[in-house]
Structure formats: structure tokens, C-alpha cells
Amino acid sequence: MKIVVVGDTLVSSDYMEKQAERLFPGHDKKIVKFDWEMKTKEEFQEVILDLEKNGPEARKLSEEITNELKDADILMVHFAPVSKATLDKAVNLKLIGTCRGGVEHIDIEAATEKNIPVLHVIRNAEPVAEFTLGLIYSECRNITRSHVSIINGGWRKSFPNSRYVTTLSELQVGLLGMGYIGKIVAGKLIKLGIKVKAHDPFINKEDLEKDGLGDIELVPLEDLFRNSDIISLHIRLTDETRNFVNMGLLSLMKESAYLINTARAGILDEKALVEVLAKKKIAGAAIDVFWEEPIPENHPILKLDNVTLTTHIAGDTVDAIPKAPKLLVNEMNEFFNNGKLDMIINRKTAENFKL
């Protein structure tokens, strides 16, 4: 079995190679490792944004990597692009694993056409879930606005949402998306005694009960936006979900409700969000992801007083990204040994998987 691993600035190829040695115990393995786009973290951020915005065709692998893929069985990457052109040359490829949740850098359609399962991991699920709770508290209780006021020499006591401020236990949180992160957020909220409802067309009550979340009620999409006091977004960005949360859904929200986004900016209609905030159609919003990063200096959202903004740091902890290959190999072994499909993006390809 030949395994090609491709590390980068954020994920060490040496550590990825070490973890690949644990892959599929009992099988003889030849591991070939590469480093791709080794830049400073600041420069690599541009690479990330390019891939997230423009897909796997935006960047290329070296000819050396491509040649090694011609007879490879397994490919493990972090952010290295896996385009259709690459897959056309990797004629023996049977499985792709990526050390992250997003798969914008992989041509999923091409992989599916070639019957190649693509497995990902939510490496920073716990950090993002924790950060989501932090944004909820910060926005609903004006923590950041009060801090800014003091720093600027003030002592502010009145805010745009002052007539709505209450304890979180009095509010109902609606989760759009009950994937890995959504479920962790739900579990944390429930432990805090907070009422939670959710919408996710891909899960059912039995799925929630297996995860100890049986108390959560699954509701129709419009009901979620109409009745929740806080809406938190936890869906993936795809062609189908781009601008999914549009003016139609935002206009259903209560004037006292809040919107939280730690997922992807593209799932939220930018102009619609700015409009409902500017016109005080909702109480406020807190977002960690933006349509262009860094956010332009003249962006209208910067003039609003009912929004909390953070610099796309929800998943940034010292251990989440570097240790992602360990999580990836664990999931790949679970898939191979026990048929676990939780982290397979294109599940139909897994039906006839063979090494």
C-alpha cells in the first residue's frame, strides 16, 4: 500500500508521516511525504483564502507530488489542493483524507465520479463550540461594547439591545445544522440549562438520541428562525448553501433575536445581514467569519453598534491544527475497520470501498 502525505505551513509533514504509520495496522505501507507551499503563517493565510474562495483549481501541486500520486493508494493532505486534473492522474487512488473540516480544496464531484471516498475531520470542533458560546454571551450581554466604552474613556450603561437583556436561561437557542460542531454546541447549552431546538434535514430523532441529545426538538426551518431568541449557524458551505440564510429567513426573526455565525461567511447573505442590523430588525449579531478577510476598512458593518466582530479565530488554539493528522488517522481506521461513515463527505462511494 502506497500512502502519499502532503503537509504545509500549519501541519507538519513529519507528524503526518508518523501518524500515517498507524494507518490500517497489518498492511505493508510505503509512505512518501511532501511539504507544500511552505510560507510564513501570514503568507499562507492568502493561500487558504484563495482555496476557500476559488476551489482546488486555484493552486497547483508540484510535478513531483503529482508523479508520486500516479500509483498511490491513499492521499493525506491538510490544505494541499486535490483538483480533477490531479485525480485524473492518480489512477490507483482509493481514499483521500484531509486534516480539516472544510473541503473547498478538494474536488468532491470528481472524487465521487471516480468512486473515491473523501474523509475529513473536525479538528477544532471543541474550540469552535466554546467560542460560539463566548460570542453568544458577549453579544447578548454587551461584554465587548462595554469594554470598548471603558477603553475609550466612557462608562456606558445603555446599549441598542438594553430592553431585551436577560439571562441566557430565559432564551431559546436555535441551531441551524447538527453536524459535529452543532452537536457539541447543543450539548454545552443543555448542560447550562438552556432550551435548544434545531433544524437539520440530514438527521433524525434517533441520531440525536444516540448522541445523548434526545431532548432537542427538530423543527422546520422557518419555525426555527421565527421562534428562536438566538440563531447559531453550523452548516457547511456548498453550492446549495451559499447565501442560504437570506433576507427571507432573517426577516422571520424576532426584533429581540440574535444571529451567531462561526461557520462560513458564504452561508449568510452579506447585504441582507447588514440591512437587518442597520434597521434594527434584529437585536444583534456576532460573527467570526467574513466575506473578505481582512474585512475592508469601509465595510458598512463596521459602522453598526449592534454587532460583535472577531478575526476568524474561533478554531485557533495551540493544539487543534498541528495535531489534526492524529484525529484523521483515527477516523480513517474507524472507517476501514468498523465501517464508520460519520466523516465521509461522499458516503455513496464508501459502499464498495476496498484497498
Per-residue tens of pLDDT for the chain, all 355 residues: 999 999 999 999 999 999 999 999 989 999 999 999 999 988 998 999 899 889 999 999 999 999 999 999 999 999 999 999 999 999 999 999 999 988 999 999 999 999 999 999 988 899 999 999 999 999 999 999 999 999 999 999 999 999 999 999 999 999 999 998 999 999 999 999 999 999 999 999 999 998 999 999 999 999 999 999 999 999 988 889 999 999 999 999 999 999 999 999 999 999 999 999 999 999 999 999 999 999 999 999 999 999 999 999 998 888 888 889 999 999 999 999 999 998 999 999 998 888 8
Residues in CB range of 280: below 8 A, 6 or more apart:
160, 255, 306
**Closest of 339, 292, 331 to residue 311, by C-alpha:** 292
- What are 48's three cell numbers? 487558504
What pLDDT does residue 264 have? 94
Residues in CB range of 3: below 8 A, 6 or more apart:
20, 23, 29, 30, 31, 32, 72, 73, 74, 75, 76
Residue 103 near residue 56, CB atoms below 8 Å: no
pTM of the model: 0.80
| Neighbour tally for 210: CB within 10 Å | 10
Structural element, H or E, at residue 35: strand 30-35
| Neighbour tally for 44: CB within 10 Å | 16
From CA 284, how far away is CA 243, in angstroms rounded?
Answer: 19
DSSP 3-state of 199? strand
State how far the alpha carbon of 2 is from the alpha carbons of 28, 74, 218, 261, 304, in Å.
Answer: 9, 6, 44, 40, 54
What pLDDT does residue 123 have? 84
DSSP 3-state of 3? strand
DSSP 3-state of 21? coil
State how far the alpha carbon of 66 is from the alpha carbons of 78, 87, 88, 197, 336, in Å.
Answer: 16, 9, 10, 46, 25
List, by residue number, the catalytic residues. Answer: 264, 293, 312
Amino acid at residue number 129 = A
Taken in order of first residue, the domains within the chain and their CATH numbers are 2-123+321-350 (3.40.50.720), 125-309 (3.40.50.720)
What pLDDT does residue 239 have? 87
From CA 291, how far away is CA 73, in angstroms rounded?
Answer: 36
Q: What are phi and psi for residue 175, nearest 5 degrees?
A: -100, 120
What pLDDT does residue 281 have? 98
How many helices (H) does the chain have, and how many strands (E)?
Answer: 13, 12
DSSP 3-state of 326? helix
Bridge partner list, 127: none
